Amino acid sequence: MRSTLALCLPFLAACQVLFPTPIDQHAETGTPTKAVRSVGATFHEGEVLEAQLSLDGVVAGRGSLRVGKRCLADGKSALPVETESGSSGLLSLLSDATADTWGLIDLDNNAPLEGRWDIVNGEKRSLLEMDYTEGGYRVHQIRYQPEKDPKHIRRRVELPIEQVPHDAHTFLGYLRRWEPAEGERGYLFVTLGRGLYRADVVFAGHDAILTAQGSQDSLRIDGVATRISEKTLKPLAKGERPFSLWISADERKTPLRIVVETDITKISVDLLRYAREPVAAGDPTACEDRVDRAELDKAKSKKKKPAAAEKGQIDELDDDDVAMTPAQKDAIQKLRSRILRLREDAER
């Protein structure tokens, strides 16, 4: 579930999807050879973005992203970012899901320092904490299920790269403050849940779109996110996720719309409201509600896999990231039938 919606997580997450609808991308992304670089601050204190998620045009969820006051994380100047989201509309009748994320952004390089995902789907809950460094990250996940003891999963991931991999917040921030020439390409490595993705992007140019605030001039970025091996950085056998992002062409560079293509639907996240709210005065203090560093210290590097896994086979994927439960599949079918009936009634 998380792998399906991860690119939408800076705004909201937590729903299941259907209907294959290709994105009409303006340009092929190809294979970029240089990493995306941001210019200036990717987020600002007090920023609030409220958005609506739709599945094939049907409202399925709402959420918000909020940026807090600058704080100090082990002596580093950091910016806290958090999101809240949940299902609504037709989906709320079929699925009770919420997703909250939190992270600290290093203001020296706009990369993530640490983060947390808290996803509740019915009676199941997944709490995941991570911290980041150059060329790697550590993970501690706790899975809660009814009538079972919590399951702890810890991992230390060492990547064959020099840069700090992104999380969902910094991924959005980097694209927001990217200043490419038209047609310029770039790539980023981003963690989504416990999985690692490579996002290849191309700046498609200016595009006028209709939003809740009216017609707006925007900057369009097209891309493809591919799940990759942590050892070799080669694609895994689970396909690609095309996406498009529209950013306002004014000084605010506000994310206006994200569209993600999944195996069974097109997901659209549209901005409803943007604001800059005041933050408390005074010098920055220690960041609060940090990840549990003692648990992350227990994480160990992944043992070497057999040859099949080194070639990027599907066994490197974990079931929690890619599989739907029978109940979720049943909810999908019910939602699909409901939407199809509504369409048939509208056409009569």
Give pLDDT tens digits for 256-286. Answer: 999 987 777 788 999 999 999 999 999 999 9
Which of the four pLDDT bands, split at 50, 70 and 90, describes residue 92? low
Q: What is the pTM of this model?
A: 0.82
Q: What is the pLDDT of residues 163-192, one digit of tens each?
A: 999 999 999 999 999 999 989 999 999 998
Which of the four pLDDT bands, split at 50, 70 and 90, describes residue 238? low
pLDDT of res. 165:
97
**Residue 325 pLDDT more than 80?**
no
Closest listed residue to residue 203, CA positions, set 228, 174, 234, 226:
174
Q: What is the dihedral of CA 7, 11, 16, 17, to 10 degrees?
A: -70
Angle subtended at Cα 66 by Cα 62 and Cα 72, rounded to the nearest 5 degrees? 150
| DSSP 8-state class, residue 6 | G
* Domain around 282: 2-347
Number of domains the chain is built from: 1
Q: What is the dihedral of CA 247, 48, 192, 21, to 10 degrees?
A: -50
Q: What is the DSSP string of 206-259?
A: EEEEEETTEEEEEEEEEEEEEEE-TTT-PEEEEEEEEEEEEEESSTT--EEEEE
Q: Which residues contact 254 (CB under 8 A, 6 or more apart)?
A: 49, 247, 248, 271, 274
Q: State the Cα–Cα distance between residues 255 and 257, nearest whole angstrom.
A: 6
Instruction: Count the neighbouring beta carbons within 10 Å of the beta carbon of residue 170.
Output: 30
Q: Which residues pair with 315 in a beta bridge?
A: none
Highest mean pLDDT among 64-73, 89-98, 119-128: 64-73
260: burial class by Cβ within 10 Å (0-12, 13-18, 19+)? buried
Q: What is the mean pLDDT of the chain?
A: 82
pLDDT of res. 15:
34
pLDDT of res. 143:
96
pLDDT of res. 329:
54
Q: How large is the average pLDDT for residues 45-73? A: 92
Closest listed residue to residue 292, CA positions, set 114, 107, 133:
114
